[in-house]
Structure 1
Amino acid sequence: MTSNQTPYDNAEALSELTLGKNTRYQAQYAPQLLQAVPRQLNRDAIALSDPMPFHGADIWTAYELSWLNAKGKPMVAMAEFRLDAASKHLVESKSFKLYLNSFNQTKVDSISALQQMLQQDVSRCAEGDVTVNVIEPKQFASQRIVELPGICMDDLDIEVMDYAFNADWLHHSTDDKQLVAETLNSNLLKSNCLITSQPDWGSVMIRYQGPKIDREKLLRYLISFRQHNEFHEQCVERIFTDLKRYCHCSKLTVYARYTRRGGLDINPFRSDFEHLPENNRLARQ
Structure 2
Amino acid sequence: MLMKIKGEITLLGNTTEYIQQYTPELLEALPRSRNRSSIGIEPDSLPFSGFDLWTGFELSWLNKKGKPVVAIAEFVIPATSRNMIESKSFKLYLNSFNQSKFSTTEEVISTLVKDLSRAADGDVKVKIFTEPDLYPQTIATLPGNCIDQLDISVDNYDFNPEYLIDATDTENVSETLSSNLLKSNCLVTNQPDWGSVIITYEGKKINQEKLLRYIISFRMHNEFHEQCVERIFNDISRYCSPAKLSVFARYTRRGGLDINPFRSNYEKYPTVHRLVRQ
Contact kept in structure 1, 2:72 and 2:135, CA below 8 Å: no
Aligned to 1:129: 123
Q: In 2, distance between residues paired with 1:98 and 1:105?
A: 13
Equivalent residues, number:
270
Q: Which of the numbers 256, 269, 272 marks the counterpart of 1:263? A: 256
Aligned pairs for 1:1-285 (under 5 A) are 11-12=6-7, 15-49=8-42, 50-137=44-131, 139-140=133-134, 142-175=136-169, 177-277=170-270, 278=273
Structure 1 residue 145: deviation in Å?
Answer: 2.5
Q: In 1, distance between residues paired with 2:132 and 2:59?
A: 15
Contact kept in structure 2, 1:152 and 1:185, CA below 8 Å: yes
Contact kept in structure 2, 1:144 and 1:280, CA below 8 Å: no
Q: In 2, distance between residues paired with 1:265 and 1:138?
A: 16
Q: Compared with structure 1, are the counterparts of its residues 138 and 24 closer, same or farther at alpha carbon in structure 2 (3 Å cutoff)?
A: closer
Structure 1 residue 280: deviation in Å?
Answer: 5.8
Q: In 2, distance between residues paired with 1:279 and 1:79?
A: 15
- Give the letter aligned to residue 130 of structure 2: E
Q: In 2, distance between residues paired with 1:165 and 1:153?
A: 19
Contact kept in structure 2, 1:170 and 1:247, CA below 8 Å: yes
Q: In 2, distance between residues paired with 1:143 and 1:208?
A: 24
Instruction: Report runs of 4+ in structure 1 exceeding 6 Å deviation.
Output: none
Q: Secondary structure at the match of 1:207?
A: strand
TM-score (structure 2 length as normaliser): 0.94
Q: Secondary structure at the match of 2:219?
A: helix
TM-score (structure 1 length as normaliser): 0.92
Q: In 2, distance between residues paired with 1:133 and 1:82?
A: 9
Aligned alpha-carbon RMSD (Å): 1.5
Q: Structure 2: which 5+ runs fail to align?
A: none
Contact kept in structure 2, 1:236 and 1:256, CA below 8 Å: yes
Q: In 2, distance between residues paired with 1:145 and 1:180?
A: 28
Q: Compared with structure 1, are the counterparts of its residues 209 and 20 closer, same or farther at alpha carbon in structure 2 (3 Å cutoff)?
A: same
Q: Secondary structure at the match of 2:97?
A: coil
Q: Structure 1: which 5+ runs fail to align?
A: 1-8
Q: In 2, distance between residues paired with 1:141 and 1:206?
A: 25
Q: Compared with structure 1, are the counterparts of its residues 279 and 42 closer, same or farther at alpha carbon in structure 2 (3 Å cutoff)?
A: farther
Contact kept in structure 2, 1:59 and 1:279, CA below 8 Å: no
Q: CA deviation digits over 1:197-242, x for unaligned, max 9?
A: 0000000000011111100000000000000000000000000000
Q: CA deviation digits over 1:110-169, x for unaligned, max 9?
A: 000000001110000000011000011264464422222110000000000000000010
User: Sequence identity, in percent?
Assistant: 57
Q: Compared with structure 1, are the counterparts of its residues 47 and 205 closer, same or farther at alpha carbon in structure 2 (3 Å cutoff)?
A: same
Contact kept in structure 2, 1:190 and 1:225, CA below 8 Å: yes
Q: In 1, distance between residues paired with 2:185 and 2:78?
A: 23
Q: In 2, distance between residues paired with 1:21 and 1:65?
A: 22
Q: Secondary structure at the match of 1:221?
A: helix
Aligned to 1:3: none
Q: Compared with structure 1, are the counterparts of its residues 10 and 266 closer, same or farther at alpha carbon in structure 2 (3 Å cutoff)?
A: closer
Q: In 2, distance between residues paired with 1:62 and 1:209?
A: 33
Q: Secondary structure at the match of 2:41?
A: coil
Moved more, 111-120 or 269-278: 269-278
Q: In 1, distance between residues paired with 2:5 and 2:68?
A: 43
Structure 1 residue 11: deviation in Å?
Answer: 2.3
Q: In 1, distance between residues paired with 2:243 and 2:113?
A: 35
Contact kept in structure 1, 2:137 and 2:274, CA below 8 Å: no
Q: Compared with structure 1, are the counterparts of its residues 267 and 52 closer, same or farther at alpha carbon in structure 2 (3 Å cutoff)?
A: same
Q: Secondary structure at the match of 1:261?
A: coil
Q: In 2, distance between residues paired with 1:123 and 1:140?
A: 26
